Amino acid sequence: MTQQALLLVDHGSRRAEANENLLHAAEAVRECAPDLPVFAAHMELAEPTIAEAFAECAAAGAEEVIVFPWFLARGRHVREDIPRLCAEAAEAHGLRNLVAEPFGVHRLLAELALERAGLR
Amino acid sequence: MTQQALLLVDHGSRRAEANENLLHAAEAVRECAPDLPVFAAHMELAEPTIAEAFAECAAAGAEEVIVFPWFLARGRHVREDIPRLCAEAAEAHGLRNLVAEPFGVHRLLAELALERAGLR
């Protein structure tokens, strides 16, 4: 069976607090999927970079990296920059990679918006 | 009972497709809460503006507008710009307003990330 890893990629920021958000997100995903190796990377401005995270995935024995763009919408970063950086990093480590759709619009987001708004 | 409205506010973009995303999001929220008046506005770069949306809320009979920032994290726009624009607009229409926390990190986002990644 193919060894899969999930890599969450956000934009990256100069603010440590913004970057830490993705680490908390990765922790939340691990709680939902305890057997899945989950990694995190920033597209730019902060480490770990996408290249560094693919190296971690390879070192952990992954054969295929599923990249989830931690973005609400499918803008240029999600459509172009992240797939390009991931393809380069995957090739460097002989890994397969697949970039998933970002959050987009979904009933779960609608429910969370209502919860955050105190309306649920 | 206080008449509440929910106002979703995203960043706003010059790309029509990006702005339409918020309209789809508002539709998804309406499906989850059919009795709640749900409005949408863009912080900048596109209409309806926050000021225009508060005018719509007032015209619909709302007394209190709960603003949900359609953002993943609590950056400067969420902390400063959106509350300021909403406070100004609320005052202009004699409405109460409350700016909620953005999506942040939450189990529902973790579950959606796994679903988008094809791992659920």
Other beta carbons within 10 Å of A17: 10
B112/A100 touch (CB, cutoff 8 Å), yes or no = no
Query: Which residues of B, range 16-35, sit inside 8 Å of A by Cβ?
Result: 18, 21, 24-25, 27-29, 31-33
pLDDT in tens, chain A (120 residues): 899 999 999 999 999 988 999 999 999 999 999 999 999 999 999 999 999 999 999 999 999 999 999 999 998 999 999 999 999 999 999 999 999 999 999 999 999 999 999 998
Catalytic (active site) residue B24 = no
Q: Residue A44: phi, psi to the nearest 5?
A: -155, 170
- Tell which residue, B92, B98, B94, B107, has the closest CA to residue B67: B98
Among A70, A75, A98, whose Cβ lies nearest the Cβ of B18?
A75
Q: Give the pLDDT mean for B77-103.
A: 97
- What global pTM score does this model have? 0.94
Order of strands across the sheet that contains B96-99: B38-42, B4-10, B64-69, B96-99
Q: So which residues of A are the catalytic ones?
A: 11
DSSP one-letter code for B81: I
For tokens 């990330």, the residue is: B113
Q: Report the half-sphere exposure of B82 (CA within 13 A, side-chain side).
A: 28
User: Which chain A residues contact residue B14 at CB under 8 A?
Assistant: none
DSSP one-letter code for A74: -
Instruction: Please give the ipTM for the structure prediction.
Output: 0.96
